[in-house]
Amino acid sequence: MVLSDKTEIKTFILFLMSNIKEALDFNTLHDIVVQDGFVKYIDFLDCFAELLEAGQVDEINNDIPLYTISDNGKIAVAELTPKLFGTIKEKALRSAMRLLAFYREGSRIFSSVNSDGEGWQFHCEMTDGKRKLLEINTYYTDYDYAQRVKSNFDENAEKIYKGTMAILSGDVNYIFDK
């Protein structure tokens, strides 16, 4: 589901900002809002500019400008948040918190599904800013299955990383028992 109504998009942005409860730089805020595909890049830019203009988002001038929800924004989000779909709010907030944790640790995730003409190549990786911590490439004949794998990685990257490390290190040998 992609949000297309400007009021919904602004409410979505304010909802995330009010729940994160810390000032964010523009790039981090952008990544948090668009990462699940609920908001398109251009819509984010347009709506965020309107939120700034309306005084619902405050800019804190540091070396790098930071943004936080204003008191007016808190009032607006309290009135409008119930209109957003619960599943969107839950997924987006969970993803936002995970992304912030990754950023704090310097970790990043990336995944893609691409056609090779005969099937679908799923690629995922996790980096810590200096090196690749995990990289996996798998092949699928079914596009929907490849997309499901991608979605699972995107939502559970840290668990997949920990699970992969546990299997490789032998910490979960019960998987190998016959």
> Does pLDDT of 77 surpass 70?
yes
On whether residue 145 sits in a domain, the answer given is yes
CATH (domain of 45): 1.10.10.10
Spatial separation of the C-alpha atoms in residues 114 and 129, rounded to whole Å = 24
**85 and 55 within one domain:** yes
Instruction: Based on the fold, state whether residues 78 and 152 are members of the same structural domain.
Output: no
The reply to whether 89 and 43 lie within a common domain is: yes
* 85-108: average pLDDT: 79
Q: Report the first-to-last Cα separation within the chain, whole angstroms.
A: 43
How many angstroms separate the Cα of 159 from the Cα of each of 77, 154, 163, 173? 32, 10, 6, 17
Is 1 within the bounds of a domain? no
Determine, yes or no, domain membership for 127.
yes
The model carries a pTM of 0.62
CA distances from 121 to 111, 117, 124, 137, 140 (A): 10, 10, 10, 7, 6
pLDDT in tens, 122-152: 999 998 777 888 999 999 999 999 999 999 9
For residue 105, the model assigns a pLDDT of 75
Note down the domain range covering 155.
Answer: 108-176
How does pLDDT run across 9-19, given as a tens digit for each residue? 999 999 999 99
Cβ contacts of 165 within 8 Å, gap of 6 or more: 171
Residue 102 has pLDDT above 80, yes or no: no
Helices of type H across the chain: 6-20, 26-34, 41-53, 71-80, 86-105, 143-169
**One domain for residues 99 and 133:** no
Same-domain pairing of 15 and 76: yes
13: tokens are 């942005």
